Structure 1
Amino acid sequence: MREMEYVWILVFAGILLVIGLVMISLNALLGPREPQIYEDYPYECGVPLYDKDAQTTFHQGYYLLGLLLLLFDIEAAFLFPWSVVYRYLGVFGFIEMFIFIFILTYGLLYAWKKGALDWQFEIEEV
């Protein structure tokens, strides 16, 4: 009888497959036929380029800012599980998280002082 519980997973997967195929078919039948002007246009960092040449370089600050945002988002996401089990950790858990937040704050202040959070970047031409 335990094997019958897995049948619903297969039914759900089949329904998802049918819905996906229907959506793709509707797109092929009802979608536009002629290509768009900017379909092959290079696109980087959320800013469309002004020419078709994708060989321009961008200031490394954009990439540094993206890495910092990703780093702090992941570390902030670590705070949520900690807050759920906080009452079981006691004083040791509180001190450990205080040190963790202190290191995060120090890293943020260091990046801020070095100008990594500055949005005044210029596009460099090759």
Structure 2
Amino acid sequence: MNNHPYLPLLFLLAIGGGFAVFSVAIAPLTGPKRYNRAKLDAYECGIEPSPQAAGGGRVPIKYFLTAMLFIIFDVESVFLYPFAVAFKQLGLFALVEMVLFILTVFIAYAYVWRRGGLDWD
């Protein structure tokens, strides 16, 4: 029997995609349909919801910038794991590349810090 090496991966992706589509399609049919005021209110960490702000409920951009910075630095740190695993096989070239990568991350971090992106008002 001549199996393609990616056949199990494709099979797993098909099962995962089918489960996702099935879950989204069946949710409106099986979910509860008893709506009340408490369920329709915005959830604010278990406290009573505050009335909307005067600006139409606008959220300061600072929250979104902080979230994006977290994601950027988090994704950059994910690249350090493969390097740590394959460090011995890669040699001096990989060490130089990783030093440049970390230096770039620290330059970006210093720039954001200097611009006040990490100050929480």
TM-score (norm 1): 0.61
| Contact residue 42 and residue 49 of structure 1 kept, 8 A | no
| Counterpart in the other structure of 1:64 | 65
Aligned-residue Cα RMSD (Å) equals 4.0
Distance 1:108 1:77 in 2: 16
| 1:56 CA displacement | 2.3
Unpaired runs of 5+ in structure 1? 121-126
1:47-70 Cα distance to aligned partner (Å, 9 max, x none):
955239993222211111111000
Aligned positions of 1:21-36 closer than 5 A: 34-36=34-36
AA partner of residue 115 (structure 1): G
| Counterpart in the other structure of 2:37 | 37
Q: Percent identity?
A: 28
| 1:112 CA displacement | 1.2
Moved over 4 A (4+): none
TM-score (norm 2): 0.63
Distance 2:50 2:106 in 1: 36
Corresponding pairs, count: 108
| Contact residue 42 and residue 52 of structure 1 kept, 8 A | no
Distance 1:68 1:107 in 2: 10
| Contact residue 64 and residue 116 of structure 1 kept, 8 A | yes
Unpaired runs of 5+ in structure 2? none
Q: Which has the higher contact order (CA 8 A, sep 6+)?
A: 1
User: Which structure: larger Rg?
Assistant: 1
